[in-house]
Amino acid sequence: MFENIHIFHTNDVHSHFENWPRIREFLLSKKKEHEENGEEVFLFDIGDHVDRWHPFTEATIGKGNIHLLNEVGYTAVTIGNNEGITLPYDDLDSLYTDADFDVIIANLYKKDGSRPNWALPYRMYQTKSGVKIGVTAVTANFKKLYGILGWDLVEPFKELSNQIKQLKNESDILILLSHLGIHDDEKIAKLYPEIDIILGGHTHHILQQGKHIDHGGTTLLGAAGKHGNFVGYIRLKVSSDNHDVIDKQAKLYETRNLPSPLNEKNEIASFYDEGKKMLYQEVVNLPVKLSTEWFKASPLPQILCEAIEEWCDADCAFINAGLVLDDLEKGIVTKYDLHKILPHPINPCIVELNGAELQKVIFQTFDSKWPSFELKGLGFRGTILGNFVYHNITFHSIEQRLYINGSPLEEEEIYRLGTVDMYTFGHFFPEFLTAKKQYFMPEFLRDVMAWKFRKEYGK
């Protein structure tokens, strides 16, 4: 005799609500079907459901996402870096106040060493037949950024080891919700053969039939890509006698092939419209139109570059024009307008470099590859980088010399370069990797632009 256990999972939805109506109806239908057959169903989200690029999420500070998860009846979720480091401390601390599901995250602590009252290090679920399913979760190790926001993030492998010791003798089945990425998931499967299933995310990988990692037994990895393009499913066949796992199989359902609910287009539009309406709060009244161009000089990218330098108290600054996605018309500018042109969850930062290093970096920005470079990830929600824009950085072509804030660059002098955090996460400039960095959080670029406008134009 055996028991079927059904597990559905999503990850890295990133507030792509264009897929949500189909996901919701599909999960509700499957949940009802299996429960009517007397079989156990579990629904898990592996983090980064919240993404503030979308007006609905921005306006509700993520709580709208929680309402959507409640509607479906999720069993548990964990957090990704978009929940963890794009929300101010108080907003993350209150994000799950109305959640009807468990929030499992083992490696997040408060600064005093206690856990947030909404966060469980693990949860033990038990089926009607007595099968005990232990679930724990860890999230990506952006320790420094969590620390700036007021949290303490423990190295995930260290914390996971502690949780495995606790759970392995108490559980018939052990499941990890991992917002670490495919490479860490494969490593974990080999290090901890006690884990039966790892449901992953963060690196947006797609595992159509899952991935079996053999180590005497097998650990099954599952992952469903990004943006709700897929819904993951795992079926476990478990012995009714000794609760051993007899078989485990994974598959993905492609969302575009799922049934379309009634009024789907209207519902998708309503998410955007509701967020836009809530963000209709005046920031400034502009006396003139401010335009943006990606391949030539224009006012808005230049204003943003100046604002970052001032906000960070830097010696000079540069950004890429492609950060600013549209113009601002003369007249009232609202929070929605700023969100529309700067939707990125990107923070300003300072990078400290000596003159020789700064010169190498600036010369790299002159490379003709950058303006048309298509960037995905690192918080960037645009399409291409566009030209680099500078403030207090001048290159005299005749002298072949750089000037910083009007003075010749000195190779031994230390400079504070104002820029954006995404350059420090990727491999744009090798000199950034070992440089001293200071991140300004929780403010995003749109917040810095609003501050600049109020300073220049008042409200």
| Sign of the dihedral defined by the CA atoms of residues 92, 105, 48, 34, in that order | negative
Q: How many CB atoms lie within 10 A of CB 241?
A: 8
Instruction: Tell me the C-alpha distance between 221 and 56, whole Å.
Output: 32
On whether the CB atoms of residues 300 and 324 are closer than 8 A, the answer is: yes
pLDDT tens sequence for the chain (459 residues)? 888 999 999 999 999 999 999 999 999 999 999 999 999 999 999 999 999 999 999 999 999 999 999 999 999 999 999 999 999 999 999 999 999 999 999 999 999 999 999 999 999 999 988 999 999 999 999 999 999 999 999 999 999 999 999 898 899 999 999 999 999 999 999 999 999 999 999 999 999 999 999 876 789 999 999 999 999 999 999 888 888 888 999 999 999 999 999 999 999 999 999 999 999 999 999 999 999 999 999 999 999 999 999 999 999 999 999 999 999 999 999 999 999 999 999 999 999 999 999 999 999 999 999 999 999 888 899 999 999 999 999 998 887 899 999 999 999 999 999 999 999 987 899 999 999 999 999 999 999 999 999 999 876
Instruction: Report helix, strand and coil shares of the chain as percent, to nearest 5.
Output: 35, 30, 35
The label of the residue with tokens 């996901």 reads 23
List, as one string, the DSSP characters of 367-436: -TTSTT-B--BTTB-SSB---EEEESEEEETTTTEEEETTEE--TTSEEEEEEETHHHHTTS-HHHHSSE
Q: How many CB atoms lie within 10 A of CB 170?
A: 11
Tokens standing for 449? 């632009």
Question: Alpha helices of 222-298 — where are they, by DSSP H?
Answer: 264-278
Instruction: Tell me the C-alpha distance between 230 and 225, whole Å.
Output: 7
On whether the CB atoms of residues 229 and 22 are closer than 8 A, the answer is: no
- What lies within 8 Å, CB to CB, of 301 at 6+ separation is 292, 293, 319, 320, 321, 323, 324, 386, 389
Nearest CA to 420 among 402, 437, 403, 395? 437
Residue type, 43: L
- What lies within 8 Å, CB to CB, of 439 at 6+ separation is 144, 145, 148, 347, 349, 421
Which phi and psi angles does 24 have, rounded to 5°?
A: -60, -50
Nearest CA to 172 among 227, 130, 201? 130
The label of the residue with tokens 């949940």 reads 31
Instruction: Tell me the C-alpha distance between 110 and 107, whole Å.
Output: 10
Tokens standing for 30? 């499957």
Which phi and psi angles does 247 have, rounded to 5°?
A: -155, 150
Q: How many CB atoms lie within 10 A of CB 132?
A: 15
**Predicted local distance difference test score (pLDDT) of residue 397:** 81
